[in-house]
Amino acid sequence: MTRLAVRDLAVARGGLRAVEQLSFALAAGQALILRGPNGIGKTTVLRTLAGLQPAVAGTIEAAPESLAYAGHADGLKPALSVAENLRFWSRVFDGPEIGAALERMNLRDLATRPAHALSAGQKRRLGLARLLVTGRPVWLLDEPTVSLDSASVALFAGVLRDHLAQGGAALIATHIDLGLPEAEILDLAPYRARPGQRDQRPAGFNEAFA
């Protein structure tokens, strides 16, 4: 079963095309790793797929509300505890209870600690635990392993593998080896937009807000 199908996608950042003619399909149980040098548009592709910005061209096919996006920021409130942060996202997404997610990401002992007292790696683990409470099958992950130690990377790889085994799918932009040998690699370099070609939409609007 195809979870996500992308055809001839072109995305733009700051009014300039970054990636174009990108096509791929993501089946249930499949993980795809986005590679490419800095600035090629990995984040832009993920944000476009998540619906945070419109595609310049091409089609994105996915079941409605099947995508969960995790960006560079974890969306944590420093004044709330770990459990309160996670419970909030679980309720917003109508997802499962938080107990299992806390257990899986090894956050049980930190549940009552306010998020401002967490280390960078612990915050990241909490941000990733959010994916588990969204209950959504396709994960769009932007550098998920930033500030994680090797034990936590392995922990997350295990979570990811379970997610795939349950019919989920994941699209991951990362530079490091996640320890997922079965994941396929999609290099964005061949899809880099030719320079000098500007976005065809009425110019000036996005720039005014940039």
Partner 1 sequence: MKSLLIRDLRLATRAGGGFGLALAFFLIVCTLVPFGVGPEGGQLARIAPGILWVGALLACLLSLDRIFALDFEDGSLDLLATAPLPLEGAVAVKALAHWLTTGLPLVLFAPLLGVLLHLPGPAYPWLLASLLLGTPALSMLGAFGAAVTVGLRRGGLLLSLLVLPLYVPTLIFGAEAVRRGASGADPVTPLVFLAAITLAVLALVPFASAAALRVNLR
| Site residues (vs partner 1, CB under 8 A) | 47, 50-54, 65, 67-69, 71-77, 79-80, 84, 87-89, 91-94, 130, 205-206, 209
Nearer to partner 1, 64 or 196 (CB): 64
Q: How far is the CB of 185 from partner 1 (least distance, A)?
A: 25
Nearer to partner 1, 24 or 93 (CB): 93
Cβ–Cβ < 8 Å for 32, 172:
yes
Q: How far is the CB of 17 from partner 1 (least distance, A)?
A: 14
Q: How far is the CB of 60 from partner 1 (least distance, A)?
A: 13
Q: How far is the CB of 209 from partner 1 (least distance, A)?
A: 6
Q: How far is the CB of 4 from partner 1 (least distance, A)?
A: 14
Nearer to partner 1, 24 or 88 (CB): 88
Q: Tokens in use for 202?
A: 């009425």
Q: Is the dihedral of CA 144, 124, 38, 11 positive or negative?
A: positive
Nearer to partner 1, 73 or 165 (CB): 73
Nearer to partner 1, 123 or 161 (CB): 123
CA–CA gap between residue 61 and residue 115 (Å, rounded): 36
